[in-house]
């Protein structure tokens, strides 16, 4: 089945450590996105990529970094510079980054930093 795989589902890290969240899609989609969700809140865009080897900052990019070396992969690194990294992280993709192209989401990674 085609879809988006995020791993791991739960991740625990100590403060001061960088951590990388995986996102893989086999939908052959050009565009990929990373969102952050805090309890009781909506989704906020961290980074998005319209095509391989290109990505753009979203609304809350500070303390995060991404790469897009392959079409199917869009890993997110949460660096030690991110002040409040504990959150639910969601990866999404769409065929293209255009209005009539629906977003497909993974089931998220819940990151806890202590």
| From 13-21, 65-73, 79-87, 99-107, span contacting another protein (CB under 8 A) | 99-107
Q: What is the CA radius of gyration of the chain?
A: 13
- From the CB of 83, what's the least distance to another protein, in Å? 20
Per CB under 8 A, does 32 bind another protein? no
CB-nearer residue toward another protein: 44 or 80:
44
Euclidean distance between CA atoms 64 and 83, whole angstroms: 10
| 7 lies in the binding site for another protein (CB under 8 A) | no
Q: For the purposes of burial, counting CB atoms within 10 Å of the CB of 39, is it exposed (0-12), middle (13-18) or buried (19 or more)?
A: exposed
Q: Which stretch binds another protein (CB under 8 A): 14-22, 53-61, 62-70, 74-82?
A: 53-61
Cα four-point dihedral sign 27, 60, 41, 7 = positive
Binding site for another protein (CB under 8 A): 4, 6, 31, 33, 35, 40-45, 48, 50, 56-59, 88, 90, 92, 96-108, 110
């Amino acid at each position: 089945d085609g879809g988006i795989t995020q791993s791991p589902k739960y991740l625990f890290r100590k403060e001061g450590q960088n951590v990388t969240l995986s996102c893989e899609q086999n939908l052959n989609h050009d565009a990929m996105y990373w969102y952050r969700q805090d309890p009781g809140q909506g989704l906020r865009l961290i980074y998005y990529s319209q095509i391989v080897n290109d990505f753009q900052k979203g609304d809350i990019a500070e303390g995060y970094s991404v790469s897009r070396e392959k079409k199917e992969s869009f890993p997110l690194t949460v660096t030690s510079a991110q002040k409040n990294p504990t959150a639910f992280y969601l990866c999404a993709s769409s065929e293209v980054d255009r209005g009539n192209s629906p977003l497909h989401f993974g089931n998220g990674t819940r990151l806890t930093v202590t």
